[in-house]
Structure 1
Amino acid sequence: MAAIACAVLAVLSAHIAAARECIELTISDNTIITESILNSTILKLSSKNETFEESVPVNVVELWERFPKVVVLRNSTGEQCRRDSQLYVDSLEKLELWALKMFDATAKPPSGILSGNGNQYGDFDECLSVDGAVRGKYCLASLLLSFEDKKYEKLDYLVHSGHYIKSNITDMGHRVPRFSSLLWGVCIPSSCSSFDLEEELSQRLSGLGVSVRVHNTMCTVKDVRRPYSFGKALSITFFLAILLLLSLGTIFDDGKEGMTNFEKLLNAFSLKRNLRKVFDLSDSPTKVKGIDAFRGMNAFALLIAHKSMAMAHSPYVNKVSFSEVFGMPWAVIGRSAILYTDSFLYLSGFLNAHNLLQELDRKGTIDLKNRLVGRWFRLFPLFVSLMLFCTYILPDISNGPQWNLVVEEHSRVCEKNMWKSFLFIHNYFGFEEMCLTHTHQIGMDMQLYVATLPLMVLIWKARTLGWSLLVGIAAASTLLRYLAIHWYDISMFVYYGISVQKLLDAARYSYILPTHRATIYLIGVVMAYFMRSKKFNISLSSAQVKLLWASCFALAAFTIVSPYRMGLEGYKYEHGPAALFAAFSPILWGIFMSMMHWAICNNYAGSATAFLESRPFKFFNNIAYSVYLTQFPIFFYNVGVQRHAEFYTPLLLLHAPEMLAVLVISIMATVAIEMPFNQVYRIYFGNSQKKLKEI
């Protein structure tokens, strides 16, 4: 008891040497820890970064003792860092407040690691508040434990929260999480570098099977801002100009239509006018039935899938439960998220072809210039506004343990690569170097739209050749998806235990390429043609309608659920199922979408018609593009500012304040940027094109 009391007293008084001496006395005292208990706690660990001829036996008590409670960088290459570190130790023994804060802000080994409580942020704000003889620097270190012996497989599973997504400490982390890494907050003197901390932790934990990485971007010092640049000045000027136009437009809006182009321009930026329009739920004469409901339901499913990926960055006291929930059979609904993006490709193909066929009926040709300019005004203003905001404005708004990773690091990627997005070619360069990774769909859609223009003219003027070309492209796209799986060992289904690198490879070599995703887009094109030609306008009996809807739901359920085995814990990757899902799921899903779309347009929805044509879907259609663009920045803003672990529950997928923020910000973006620039297009480039929401 005396030894225990001594250890507790020494730790409370922050006398580290005395604490260690007491712990050593306690361990050697057989009345406290017997030799048999020590032997029963032996683990075999091997480091991922070092090669050992045999496993290094380490007992739990030694690992616990050697794990740094106080991090002192005495071996730093920088003289100032060594001096500040020694001053820190001396001040800690004297119980000076700034040193106690630095010690207190550093994460300590907690209870519940085997429940997933391994991500310990420490106290971010307390560390940054240290400003005494030494200023505090907060660093978030990544740790990875490697268990060699198979008999410790369950322990490995628990420590790394189930390896829901397998990662290592060198993986990209700003959009795809380093899920398997343990994040450890450490407060060090500001004169020390991330390299100094990485070396110190590596030495302290050498031989214990722990790999350490401290990225320079994961360290934060208070009041250090990124320097002003031309891009930041341009962004501030751009948003100030938007605010000025919105103010003038709203103040001088008298409810009348402007006569001059300048008056029309001011009216375009009137918040009063645009808010009335965004809440105007009347139907357009050219509206196609079912589009609003399709877009709304798939956007909601995709939003939940995106939210689950953002949640994988966050710490939870029960993170193992997070993995277990997403390893259940029903979680296949979220893991098949590619189908929901396929839905948007189908809708885009349908609407583009429908619109082009209307113009071909009227003119017999397509006004290529007007089409491309209209498409640019439809997509680019809000797209570039979000890029500028996330690159130059958002990084200075807040901070947090992972802020540098998910916000600042992403802004650096944007600053370097946003020119690719300006040209709508960003989807050809992989997620690692992509600004706003979720916008790969915009790049694909623009490229498929441009390719559709000559294809529709060809179908219109040389039907046999055009249809042969369309079928050939769809078949080639299907073959490319199938072959990509075998060539690169990837999967379009997010199977349980997939690695970060495989997710990135799947994106780079198939998921974000229009050549691999064209099949379902072309199904939408075909559906638009047949619905406009009215070749399938046939009458069905009540029994046939029921059979049609039963077939629809059965096909949808089969497409979503068929790969469920791949989502279960313990799944081992197989080429065959992965290749079949990648090749044929877009075809099956496209047939399902077409059947349901045809039934709705031909008034076979029955009692579901009121739901499908309900006002919430109509309203969502007005803000759909903004919802699509703004959700990821909001999700990762919340990841970046999160200070502490919370208790995981599936209800966090529908976190009310976050969903409300997405809704409100989407409305603001729509009325302040999207709608005004669409109106500018109509003012200066004519009103010949009816606005169709094609995204």
Structure 2
Amino acid sequence: MMISRLVKALLLGWACFTVSAEKSNSSHSSKINARLNQIRDTMIPPSMYQEAMFHLMSYYAPLDATSELCRNHSILYQEAFLNDTLWAAKMFDASSKIGEGVNVGAFVGLGSYEGCLMVDVPGLFKGQHCLVEVTGILDFLFEASHVTKYTLFPGFNLDFAFSMCIPSTCTVQDIRAHMDVALQEINASSIINDNSCSKKEPTNLRLSDWIAIYILVLLIAAIVLSTWYDYFVCHNPSKQNKILTAFSIQANTRKLLHVSKSSDSLSIVYFLRFFAIVWIVAGHRFNVVLAAPSPNLLTIEKYLTVWWNAPILHMTIAVEIFFLLSGLLVSYNFLKSRNCGKEFNLFQYYFHRYLRLTPSLALVILLEASLIYQVSEGPIWKRLIGASTKRCEENWWSSLLYISNYVHPYSMCMVQSWYLSVDMQLYLISPLLLIPLQRNANRGLKIILVCFIATVVASFSNAWFFGLQGGGNVSRNKKVEINHGAEYVLTHVRAASWLIGLALGYFIYEYKQKGRKFIMNQALVVFLWAASLGMCILVVFSITPFQQPSYVYNPVIDSLYIALKRPLFSIGVAWIVFACVNGFGGVINSILSWKVFQPLATLSYGIYLSHLALQFIDIGRTQVLYQFDMYILISDTISDVVKSTIFAYFLYISVEAPFAEIDKWIFTKAPVVKKEENGNTVTIHLESTNVETKDAKSKL
């Protein structure tokens, strides 16, 4: 009996709400539709069905639209559906219905995006897919849930959302007016804007698209010509023609794959740089998934509270590795160049940095502001990629000037570009710390210590003032936006790790370049390794108590935690670097110094620039609900790393490496020979103003 009722229920649902996916001109469609109508009429009295569908269509068709054209077409849609017209049945079928899984977080129905856009009523209208958010239904949920209703990424608020397939002649204002009437009885309201609806339209390239195309064409032409010259003409490149091979695929690939064998190379840096970027990609994948409509969003509860997920929730700590390495290499490079007798040129110091970082950043920003929007489509494409594109159209300049962390921090182009702004600002003030350090080490280290204490105090005060709470960025206890703009991206509260790196660079220079021996017994080495690794692990997993539902905000504890966690983590990493560089790394150093990490580390800058855009594209083009599952997250993270590495390779050979060669060409003087008579000995010096080597690049 139960099976019989179940079969009837399934057939009834199929008959009422499902139509064939065949095109309207298929001979099978009418036969299938007729059979479904027969099943429906057998199970439901026609009068009851007509009344139920008439009432249902009053929600799905915008009958209360403000424009007369939309109302007329909506009435036509309603009547056609009640008369079993195939195109109307397809429109209704493409709209979402209340489905299974609501109790585990299936709050969003995407409907059939392609099915809706395929509808065509000749001479009248086409199908238009609209995704409508409804607020006021699930507000109670946030009182008992860890899931935040806010997200920095332009996805959904955590609330009910459904899709409607409506006539293309209806505007956003029409739909909003209709939903205001339809939802009035249940005390709810709708959220709908220009990014909510999609319909088939011819591709119209904007000015930014054409600019991007022209620049890409010029780049491709330069690459082709340079590669041709390098391969067919220039078999033995000299210093004079290196500029002509700057865009050569062959030459730049050789540079990328070249493994430094110099004893001056800080091999551990390569591993840490690549390790940090993979960690960041994994954490961003977790965050971006929260912008995707999911059938089981509430299962995120368990991922927010369990200790074993802390490395993903606390992926923001990985950025401290970049800050530490940046400070280390800036300090190490500066001291090495000054003590080699090279003259310090402030303009060159700044311009060199800007030229190394900006071309790649500018190209990625241009793509995000233009062509990326054209590559795909989907129910949430406009609201995810469209919002990202708009931010880049409006605020590209602040990212290129490296001030986006203070100017429009809540709508910055490329969310991850905040790091580049902070790093550049720290680089600008670095001479104020490095020159005293080079002239008088004790005085310079004291100045660095004072700055370190000041930034820790500033971080504590800032957290106290804004009431910021400890834990990961995904938490019910705080809004991501507040934490992001009020603490996470601010240079004056994020400088601690960079300052530790400055001091570390000095000590590495002293013991590596000057040949001084750092002597420790084995027991002390083992203790320091255990202490540093233990401190790093403790910091990573320390967010777990703050994620628990029973945790109560304490301004002293939370502010101290926010102020101290990053410096403590960086001190632990600093010992690992120092130990490996000075021969206390043993087997660990042998593994972490694997040569394959050198080219991967070189690509880390391109990976950092591109990975979020690729993740947004992956989520934005989805037409089905994204299953929130750890296995899927790991698989997608691996895919993200592979795709962004491939993109980073092309970015390196087409922009990063060529402009690095141009930078050398600009600032390298012609060889000047100086002869110093020393008895019968003649010494020859080649002077150069280029002070940065491949092994000591201080960018990502």
Q: What secondary structure, in the 3-state scheme, does the structure 2 residue paired with 1:141 have?
A: strand
Q: CA 1:20/1:506 → structure 2, altered by over 3 Å: closer, same or farther?
A: farther
Answer yes or no: is the 8 Å Cα contact 1:105–1:124 preserved in 2. yes
Aligned to 1:662, what secondary structure does the other structure show?
helix
Determine the structure 2 residue equivalent to 1:104.
Answer: 93
The range that moved more, 576-585 or 490-499, is 490-499
Q: Which moved more, 1:334-343 or 1:533-542?
A: 533-542
Q: Percent identity?
A: 21
Where does residue 682 of structure 1 map in the other structure?
Answer: 664
| Distance in 2 separating the partners of 1:283 and 1:553 | 28
Q: Structure 2: how far apart are the matches of 1:139 and 1:558? A: 47
What's the counterpart of residue 519 of structure 1? 496
Q: 1:351 aligns with which of 323, 326, 329?
A: 329
**Is 1:22–2:13 an aligned residue pair?**
no
Corresponding position of 1:543: 523
Asked if 1:333 corresponds to 2:337, the answer is: no
Quote the Cα distance in structure 2 between the aligned partners of 1:163 and 1:83.
Answer: 45
Which deviates more, 79-88 or 185-194?
Answer: 185-194
Q: Secondary structure at the match of 2:63?
A: coil
TM-score (norm 1): 0.85
Q: Cα offset for 1:452?
A: 0.3
Alignment partners' CA distance in 1, 2:139 and 2:378: 35
The aligned residue for residue 507 of structure 1 is: 484
CA distance in 2, matches of 1:144, 1:537: 66
Measured after TM superposition, the shift of residue 270 of structure 1 is 1.0
Aligned partner of 2:644 in structure 1 is 662
TM (norm. structure 2) is 0.85
**In the alignment, which of 600, 604, 613 is matched to residue 624 of structure 1?**
604
Q: CA distance change for structure 1 residues 429 and 387 in 2, over 3 Å: closer, same or farther?
A: same
Separation in 2 of the partners of 1:407 and 1:593? 36
Q: Measure the CA separation in 2 of the matches of 1:625 and 1:9.
A: 55
Pair 218,604 (structure 1): closer, same or farther in 2 beyond 3 Å = same
CA shift for structure 1 position 578: 2.2
User: 1:533 and 1:10, CA in 2 relative to 1: closer, same or farther beyond 3 A?
Assistant: closer
Equivalent residue for 1:138? 129
Instruction: Give the residue type in structure 1 aligned to 2:327.
Output: G
Q: Deviations over 1:117-170 (max 9, x none)?
A: 222111111112222132122122223344687xxx69x86xxxx552223xxx
Aligned-residue offset at 1:282? 3.4
Letter in 2 for 1:552: S
Which residue of the partner structure matches residue 560 of structure 1? 540
3-state SS, counterpart of residue 183 of structure 1: strand
1:494 match: secondary structure? coil
2:99 is matched by which residue type in structure 1?
P
Q: Does 1:397 align with 2:375?
A: yes
Measured in 1, the distance between the counterparts of 2:549 and 2:338 equals: 53
Task: Report the CA distance shift for 1:657/1:583 in structure 2 as closer, same or farther (over 3 A).
Answer: closer
CA RMSD of aligned residues (A): 3.0
Q: Which residue of 1 aligns with 2:104?
A: 115
Which of the numbers 422, 425, 428 marks the counterpart of 2:403? Answer: 425
Q: Is the 8 A contact 1:335 1:567 kept in 2?
A: no
What is the alpha-carbon distance in structure 1 between the residues aligned to residue 57 and residue 440 of structure 2? 74
Structure 1 residue 531 corresponds to structure 2 residue 484: no
Q: Secondary structure of 1:135's partner? A: strand
C-alpha contact (below 8 Å) 1:245/1:266 kept by paired residues: no
Give the counterpart letter for 2:509 in structure 1.
R
Whether the aligned pair in 2 keeps the contact of 1:164 and 1:179 (CA below 8 Å) is no
Pick aligned residue for 1:308 from 286, 303, 314: 286
Change (3 A) 1:419 1:6: closer
| 1:442 alignment partner AA | L
**1:388 corresponds to:** 366
Deviation at 1:321, TM superposition (A): 2.4
Equivalences for residues 267-278 of structure 1 within 5 A: 267-278=245-256
In the TM superposition, 1:205-604 aligns within 5 A as: 205-208=183-186, 210-225=188-203, 227-229=205-207, 231-254=208-231, 256-258=235-237, 263-363=241-341, 366-461=344-439, 466-491=444-469, 493-494=471-472, 497-498=475-476, 502-534=479-511, 537-569=517-549, 571-604=551-584
CA distance in 1, matches of 2:430, 2:224: 40
Contact kept, 8 Å, 1:495 with 1:567, in 2: the verdict is no
Residue 297 of structure 1, CA deviation: 1.7
Query: How many angstroms does 1:173 deviate by?
Result: 4.6
CA distance in 1, matches of 2:45, 2:448: 75
Contact preservation (8 Å) 1:491, 1:579: yes
Partner of 1:58: none
Q: CA 1:515 to 1:352, structure 2 compared with 1: closer, same or farther past 3 Å?
A: same
Give the secondary-structure state (helix, strand or coil) at the position aligned to 1:314: coil
The 8 Å contact of residues 226 and 245 in structure 2, kept in 1 or not, is answered as: yes
Separation in structure 2 between the aligned mates of residue 24 and residue 234 of structure 1, nearest angstrom: 55
Q: Secondary structure at the match of 2:98?
A: coil
Give the number of aligned pairs: 639
- Judged with a 3 Å threshold, the aligned counterparts in structure 2 of structure 1 residues 467 and 270 are, in CA distance, closer, same or farther, namely same
Q: Match of 2:576, as an amino acid?
A: M
Distance 2:565 2:379 in 1: 40
Whether the 8 Å contact between 1:69 and 1:108 is mirrored in structure 2 is no
Given residue 148 of structure 2, which amino acid in structure 1 is its aligned partner?
Answer: I
- What letter is aligned with 1:677? F
Per the alignment, do residues 393 and 68 of structure 1 end up closer, same or farther by CA in structure 2, a change over 3 Å counting?
same
2:76 is aligned, of 67, 87, 95, to 87
Higher mean C-alpha displacement, 81-90 vs 94-103 = 94-103
Q: Is the 8 A contact 1:163 1:179 kept in 2?
A: no
Residues 1:637 and 2:617 aligned together: yes
Contact 1:70 1:103 in 2 (8 A): no
- 1:194-209 counterparts in 2 under 5 A? 194-208=172-186
- Are the structure 2 counterparts of residues 342 and 297 from structure 1 closer, same or farther at C-alpha, using a change threshold of 3 Å? same
| Aligned with residue 614 of structure 1, among 575, 585, 594 | 594
Three-state SS of the structure 2 residue aligned to 1:426 is coil
Q: Given that residues 137 and 160 in structure 2 are in contact (C-alpha distance below 8 angstroms), is that contact kept between their aligned partners in structure 1?
A: no
Is the alpha carbon distance of 1:144 and 1:455 closer, same or farther for their aligned partners in structure 2, counting shifts above 3 Å? Answer: same
C-alpha spacing 1:204/1:23, structure 2 compared with 1 (3 Å): farther
Which stretch has the larger CA shift, 319-328 or 517-526? 319-328
**Cα shift readout 1:34-56 (whole Å, capped 9, x = no counterpart):** xxxxxxxxxxxxxxxxxxxxxxx
CA–CA separation in structure 2 for the residues paired with 1:322 and 1:570 = 17
Q: CA deviation at 1:635?
A: 0.3
1:440 Cα deviation from its structure 2 partner? 0.7
- 1:164 and 2:190 correspond: no
**1:519-545 superposed Cα distances (whole Å, 9 cap, x missing partner):** 111011011112222398432222222
Please give the alpha-carbon distance, in whole angstroms, between the structure 1 residues aligned to 2:332 and 2:215: 35
Q: After TM superposition, give the deviation of residue 382 of structure 1 in Å.
A: 0.5
Q: Which sections of structure 1, spanning at least 5 residues, go unmatched? A: 27-63
Using a 3 Å threshold, how does the CA distance of structure 1 residues 7 and 581 change in structure 2: closer, same or farther? closer
Structure 2 spans left out of the alignment, 5+ residues: 18-35, 669-687
Q: Retained in 1: the 8 A contact 2:131–2:164?
A: yes
